[in-house]
Amino acid sequence: MKKVLIIVYYWPPSGGGGVQRWLKFCNLLPENGWQPIVYVPEDPDYPLLDESLEAEVSEQVQVIKRPIWEPRKLYSRFLGKKKETSDAKGPSADEVFYHEASERSWKQNLALWIRGNFFIPDARAPWIQPSIKYLSQYLKENPVDAIVTSGPPHSLHLIGRGLKKRLAVPWIADFRDAWTEIEFFEKLMLSKWANRRHHKLERAVLAEADISLVTADYWPELYAKRGARRVEVLLNGYDENDFPTPRPSTAEAFIISHVGTLAFDRNPMALWEALSELCDESEAFSKLLRIHFAGKTDSMVKESINKLGMGDKMKDYGYISHEEAVMMMCTSPLLLLLINKSEQNAMGRVPGKVFEYMAAIRPILCLGPEDSSISRILTQAQAGTCIPYQEKERLKREIKSQFDDFQQGKDSLHPTAIEQYSRQSLTRKLSGFLGEITSV
């Protein structure tokens, strides 16, 4: 088999959606003629842990670990925070600033300014040079046919860039999320110099990578204008083996579930108001409504629900294992998908969980732009509806329709053509890209 070095930050026992993409690809690549060698940090500061995922790593996957220094402990000490337990950590150094409340102390603002202007492109920047040095020697002794880097953190792309310059190995840069269009980029208090530096590095990665992978059809045209050599869409997906067959029945209550991180800047006030009004208008709806959260949910979101008198209908499970999250999806009559409100990023935002939502064969209610990538995917698959955040009356009509279907026992869907989003299908596509850049 050909060999591919895959450089990732999020890897078991990391929890959250970021780990799923390359865990699944790596497990399936050997079936497609590629031996994955995974390079990951030895002692990372993961914000979420899911130790059950360690059992999912195939024996055919070779893993190399090297130490990494991260500034989060300094950040916590600076703010005077107490040590957190491993299963209840707060956001990582990159996330803490845009997941917490918008009003920050002077210490938080100072930490934010330091993060934005000294850790470029992100808090894992100190890992770049040590990794280039180590991997350059490793690859001379253990050559591979291709290199893949996955970001964020986008520091990993700079590792790939350094290796390509030294060793001329074909390189794929995988953008799971955008770089300068990520929703919190404008909140980093960047100086003009730092802003230019981010954009310069982003353009360099796009121009020098043999292929830049993106997760939505919005990005290829934009990245081509920035000088990308080649951009290809490789969506996230679902693994049928993760889902019970047949799917379990839904709960007796009308549960609306959101799985994953829910930040304060995606708080859907119009949705909560719509639900409150429906409760006032229908005793049956009020009796059966439940709102469930799994993952980190900002306190502002829960406070909004409490203020509308629906606190007794809300349950926050916190972070749960991937297996438990899949079961929640399968048993919820309606699944909630919230796209961030940053205009440009929202157009090309396709969260990985949407494909697992589809595989759960439950209706999806998405809040976001109607002409976005995610809206097109939902429409094509007949898997759900995308409604702008502020259209409360449309939200009420859609939820009432879903509730009526639930009462009549019609709370399952049969999405069309979702096989194209299976991990197996997507891995075949990835192996095709690898074959193309190594056959030249």
How high is the pLDDT of residue 25?
Answer: 97
Q: Is 275 exposed, middle or buried (0-12, 13-18, 19+ CB in 10 A)?
A: buried
pTM above 0.85, yes or no: yes
Nearby residues of 184 by Cβ (< 8 Å), 6 or more positions away: 95, 97, 98
Q: What value does the CA radius of gyration of the chain take, rounded to a whole number of Å?
A: 22
Residue type, 101: A
How high is the pLDDT of residue 412?
Answer: 76
Segments of the chain assigned to CATH 3.40.50.2000: 2-237+422-438, 240-418
| Longest pairwise C-alpha distance within the chain | 71
How high is the pLDDT of residue 7?
Answer: 98
How high is the pLDDT of residue 242?
Answer: 93
* Superfamily per CATH, domain 240-418: Glycogen Phosphorylase B; (3.40.50.2000)
Give the helix, strand, coil percentages of the chain, each rounded to 5. 45, 15, 35
Residue 299: CB atoms within 10 Å: 11
How high is the pLDDT of residue 127?
Answer: 96
Q: Residue-wise pLDDT tens for the chain (440 aa)?
A: 999 999 999 999 998 888 999 999 999 999 999 999 999 999 898 888 899 999 999 999 999 999 998 877 676 666 665 544 333 333 444 444 444 445 567 777 787 788 888 899 998 999 999 999 999 999 999 999 999 999 999 999 999 999 999 999 999 999 999 999 887 787 788 899 999 999 999 999 999 999 999 999 999 999 999 999 999 999 999 999 999 988 898 889 999 999 998 988 899 999 999 999 999 999 999 999 999 999 989 899 999 999 999 999 999 999 999 999 999 999 999 999 999 887 667 889 999 999 999 999 999 999 999 989 999 999 999 999 999 999 999 999 999 999 999 999 887 777 778 889 999 999 999 999 999 999 96
Q: Is 83 exposed, middle or buried (0-12, 13-18, 19+ CB in 10 A)?
A: exposed
Structure tokens at 6: 């895959």
**CATH architecture of residue range(s) 2-237+422-438:** 3-Layer(aba) Sandwich (3.40)
DSSP 236-280: --B-GGGS-SSPPPPPSSEEEEEES-B-GGG--HHHHHHHHHHHH
